Structure 1
Amino acid sequence: MMQSGLLGTATGPAKLQNVTRIMEALTEDLQSGSLQPEKREALLEELKIYGRDPSFADPIFTKDGIATLTKHAFDSSSDATAQGALRVLCNALLLKPDTREIFVSAGYDAKACQRLQRSDNSEDEFLVSRLLLLSTYATNVNVPKLVKEHGLADSLANNLARHAARLSSESSSKAKAQPMVEMALTETLKLFFNATQYAPNDIASFEPATAHIITILRNAALPSQQTKTPLNPPTPFDPPFGLLINALMNLHFSSSTAQEAVYPSSSPSSVADRLVHLLSLSMEAYTNSDLEQTVSPLVCILSAVHEHAPDPVQKSIREALLPTEADRQDVLGKADTLPSRLLRNWTNPEAPELGKAISHLYFDMSDKDPHKFVENVGYGYASGFLFQKGINIAPDAIGDTNEVEGSDGVHEIRRPVNPITGQFLDTERPVEMPEMTDEEKEREAERLFVLFERLKKTGIIDVQNPVVQAMQEGRFEDLPDDEELD
């Protein structure tokens, strides 16, 4: 096919010929420096267009091609040249996974870290962070070495500090950020998560970034505060929020640095309140398939925040998430509240990891006390979790307990609840059923007998079989063989 007159539009063999010519010119330029800056930048722009489709662009993806592009990216004194080469490299590593190992094996990941240390603009931050992010997939990259010897954690913290400072300004937080600024933050947060994932023994090196992540989390505009339409509902985990939650996943909230950031002295509950609000928005916005991937990490972060929080913050979280009187007007999980939505997803078969995260959070909010746990969520929800954890609970823990210890140590009487469903007993509605025949009663007794015998074998409960007890007390009457049944 004949080459078109438009830049980078040739296809087939003509495209391969053009790509080869450009790569040869860029390689020769490394030795001679003969290309004028404008010409060099034009060649890189044309190469970027050709590199968007790997067919007939083989010279870009070879070891020599990657070497040429990397030298222009990291050794050039011109930012325009460097950024042009970085764009081609990013496309190459994205489209041809084999090039990632070429990049890492040649030590170019270390060079990328060095450039990231010098980056003070969003364009560089975006391109270099994406390049490093891609190099963490399907390669032998040594992230701990990049942290210890090439300042990766420090560079990420510095870039996050710049974003935090921008959002801390009232005028900046209300203004719409430039697209490249938002894209740079997105790539930095993605790289931060991967770096902490692959360097778990160096988490302390990432701790300085905690305060900046929290600042961004507190100051970024929530989706509900942005203009949305019925056809475009709020999606709470749109960037940066989902990425901010992921970035916090591998950090330790017990350190003094994290404590100051997560529980600021001026407003200790502000971070927890923001997380709870995000959770509320998310439980309304996402369906089953999205809940598993998006909301599970948020619930895990809330558990960590609750675990290491001072008492007032723990109280605030519990007041927001534990079932209230409104929830107990019906069987727990039926109301249109945040606690009920969480309980409904406790056993959601399409979101098993979310269910695990929710059950752990509620167990933690119950001081890891199985009795409080049952009181808070009802035995119906608590039993499976306790069984999986091998926690046996005494029979009296599931009785109609209506006496609790108040904050002042005085025992208070509260409205009794159904220990299984968590509903107030005085709001339960009687179930209208037709009178059972004697034959139906006998079948039901047999079924209950078998059920309780199976439960005793599992160890979930340790109570006397009620059918056996009734027989021992003479409450069952043997029917004569010739008696007619209704």
Structure 2
Amino acid sequence: MAGQGVPKHQRVQEIISTLKEDIKEQKLSSQDRVRNLEELKVYSREAQGCESIYTLEVTGTVSAAFKSGAGIRTLCTLGFDDTSHYETSREALRCLANSLLLSAPSRQTLIDLGYADKASDRLVSDKLDDEFLLGRILLLLTYAKLDIAGLVGGHDLAANMNSAVRRHSTRCSKRKESESPLDPMEELALTEILKLMYNITHFAPDFAGLFEKSIPHIFNILNARKLASPPLQSPVTWMINAVANLQFAGNEHHLFPEDNPTRHISKLIEILDGSLHKENLELDAKHAFDDEGSVLLGVMGNMYQVATPEAKAYMRQRLLPTTEERKRPLGRGDTLSARLLNLTTEALAPKARVVTGRLLFELSDLNPGKFITNVGFGYASGFLMSNGIPVPPEALDKTVELNGTPINPVTGQTLEAEERDQKPLSEMTDEEKMREAEKMFVLFERLKKTGVVDVKNPVEAAIEGGRFQEMD
């Protein structure tokens, strides 16, 4: 054994040679075969010393230069060709999963040997261990030259994956009734299938339509799940990713069920709300949210496009500023809508910033005037300018009203609250005057860039007129 003085690479080669011989001679007992594979599985967790797994022919001395793939062929034979010995097959698949993860060339070797087809066929199994291992292997193969069309068309890959997701959905429904504990392998298996679904729909979008049958089952699983903190972590992130590339048009009855049209979108808003809480969005978490949160926000925007009137009204109610919030300039406070507005200016989350602006624009029915009224010109201007969307001059008129109440189109605050809060200049401290001047400078610069009106920044005019004085 390697732990008893035998070098790891030598012991790995010995195991591969023993298993290869036994395929021909069948001298090992099932227990010995499994024991060898279990030992090999431990070694295969690190690439160093496992060259014999990745070779095509195990010949010559230990130091010989091997061609690529021999151990892979041996493990494929044990894992796929004889499934009557389940323990042997499962351990071989575990060794394969480890090896494909650590050796990219081995993925193409497995495909060239024809075992991707067998992995797809075998995914029909309802055993969680099989589902996890086969899902992991097929997922890794998507990063090689995998014939996805052949697997989908000739080996029922999409159908088998849809069936796997449906089985998980059924388990969720039963577990909800009986409150039985979650099997950890169930979560691992589901995660691999969802990852595989995302990769296939990403690398081969033409086949995305084949996975639309899984939409109601994925949302059923998501709704049955108690959220962790922060909510955007596996497997929730993979459920959202899995539907991100799917077509929502034509699936409205799945997304907005008649008995509860807001059920699914409510869960997504709950996930978003929890993800944007201050404690879940510290500095180091903003980069992670940029990737995961932008997918969530994109899915919500796609859902709004096909939503029922009731669901659209619900989304606007939950995500846009309320009348109560307009007692102050928008973006202040800790409401979900305020946090969304602040996300549109978040430098550390560039992708989420753009997708948030797009979602809020969707909620405004793609109407730039309504968009400015809903979120204030200060937040709307960046999105409109970066997308080349002209600003209607009337949207910045002081007579703009929302639900019959006059508002400041720049800040989104009601004029009544603005007048009440406005402090006379004589009562302001120097610090307050500086803050007001800074806000005015920023707003005038944004207004200038729109080209809607020809306006000169009063601070700039003061400097040119010699009325600007340096202070200690």
Q: Same fold (TM over 0.5)?
A: yes
Query: d(CA) in 2 for partners of 1:454 and 1:363?
Result: 18
Distance 1:358 1:104 in 2: 41
Q: Secondary structure at the match of 1:237?
A: coil
Cα shift at 1:403:
4.0
Shift of 1:170: 4.9
Deviations 1:459-486, CA, capped at 9 Å, x for gaps: x133244799xx9xxxx9xx9xxxxxxx
Q: Percent identity?
A: 37
2:281 maps to amino acid: Y
Alpha-carbon distance between aligned partners in 1 of 2:198 and 2:146, rounded to the nearest angstrom: 15
Q: Which residue of 2 aligns with 1:71?
A: 77
Once the two structures are TM-superposed, the CA of residue 219 in structure 1 deviates from its matched residue by 1.3
Q: Is the 8 A contact 2:128 2:185 kept in 1?
A: yes
- Answer with 1 or 2: which has the greater Rg: 1
State whether structure 2 residue 77 is matched by structure 1 residue 82.
no
Alignment of 1:4-19 (within 5 A): 9-10=3-4, 14-19=7-12
Secondary structure (helix, strand or coil) at the match of 1:169 reads helix
| Counterpart residue number, 2:118 | 111
Residue 434 (structure 1) shift: 6.2
Change in 2 beyond 3 A, CA 1:413/1:50: closer
TM-aligned CA distance change 1:369 to 1:124, over 3 Å: same
| Deviation (angstroms), 1:34 | 2.1
Q: Does 1:50 align with 2:43?
A: yes
Q: Which residue of 2 aligns with 1:352?
A: 350
Match runs of 1:6-405 below 5 Å: 9-10=3-4, 14-62=7-55, 63-76=69-82, 77-117=84-124, 119-137=125-143, 139-171=144-176, 174-223=179-228, 234-255=229-250, 258-284=251-277, 285-287=280-282, 288-403=286-401
Residue 439 (structure 1) aligns with: none
For residue 416 of structure 2, give the secondary structure of its aligned residue in structure 1. Answer: helix
SS of the residue corresponding to residue 3 of structure 2 reads coil
Question: Deviations 1:250-303 (Å, cap 9, x if unpaired)?
Answer: 001102xx2221111111111111111111111112332232122111111110
Cα 1:371–1:43 shift into 2, 3 Å: same
Paired with 2:246 and 2:366, the residues of 1 have a C-alpha distance of 23
Question: Does the Cα contact within 8 Å between 1:122 and 1:184 map onto a contact in 2?
Answer: yes
Corresponding position of 2:431: none
Q: Judge conservation of contact 1:186–1:240 (CA < 8 Å) in 2.
A: yes
- Give, in whole Å, the separation in 2 of the partners of 1:454 and 1:266: 46
Name the structure 2 match of 1:424: 414
Is the alpha carbon distance of 1:10 and 1:150 closer, same or farther for their aligned partners in structure 2, counting shifts above 3 Å? Answer: farther
Which range moves more in the overlay, 269-278 or 202-211? 202-211
Give the CA deviation at 1:189: 1.1
Change (3 A) 1:467 1:179: closer
Q: Give how far 1:21 is off.
A: 1.9
Superposition TM-score, scaled by structure 1 size: 0.83
1:143–1:198 CA contact under 8 A, matched in 2:
no
The whole-number CA distance in structure 2 between the counterparts of 1:341 and 1:73 is 51
Which residue is 1:483 aligned to?
Answer: none
* Deviation per residue, 1:372-428 (Å, 9 max, x gap): 011000111111211222222232211123445xxxxxxx622x2111011122223
CA shift for structure 1 position 97: 2.0
Map Cα deviations across residues 82-114 of structure 1 (whole Å, 9 max, x no partner): 101001111111122221222223222122111
* Partner Cα distance (1:299, 1:252) in 2: 16
Q: 1:222 deviation in Å?
A: 2.3
Report the Cα offset of residue 59 of structure 1.
1.0
- 3-state SS in 1 of match to 2:53: helix
CA distance in structure 1 between the partners assigned to 2:232 and 2:317 by the alignment? 24
CA 466–29 in structure 1, closer or farther in 2 if over 3 Å, else same: closer
Q: Distance in 2 between matches of 1:10 and 1:358?
A: 59
Match of 1:230 in 2: none
Query: Contact (CA 8 Å) 2:176, 2:224: kept in 1 or not?
Result: no
Q: Which runs of 5+ in 1 are unaligned?
A: 224-233, 405-411, 436-447, 480-486
SS in 2 for 1:204: helix
Residues 298 and 355, structure 2, Cα contact 8 Å, conserved in 1 = yes
What SS does the aligned partner of 1:89 have? helix
CA distance in 2, matches of 1:131, 1:170: 28
1:461-476 alignment, distance < 5 Å: 461-465=451-455
Return closer, same or farther for 1:216/1:383 CA change in 2, 3 Å cut-off: same
* 8 Å contact kept, 2:401–2:407: no
Maintained 8 Å contact 1:245/1:297: yes
SS at 2:126 equivalent: coil
C-alpha distance in structure 1 between counterparts of 2:391 and 2:324, whole Å: 27
Q: CA deviation at 1:430?
A: 2.4
Closer, same or farther: CA 26–310 of 1 in aligned 2, 3 Å: same
Cα distance in 2 for partners of 1:171, 1:319 equals 30
Please give the root-mean-square deviation of Cα atoms over the aligned residues, in Å. 2.6
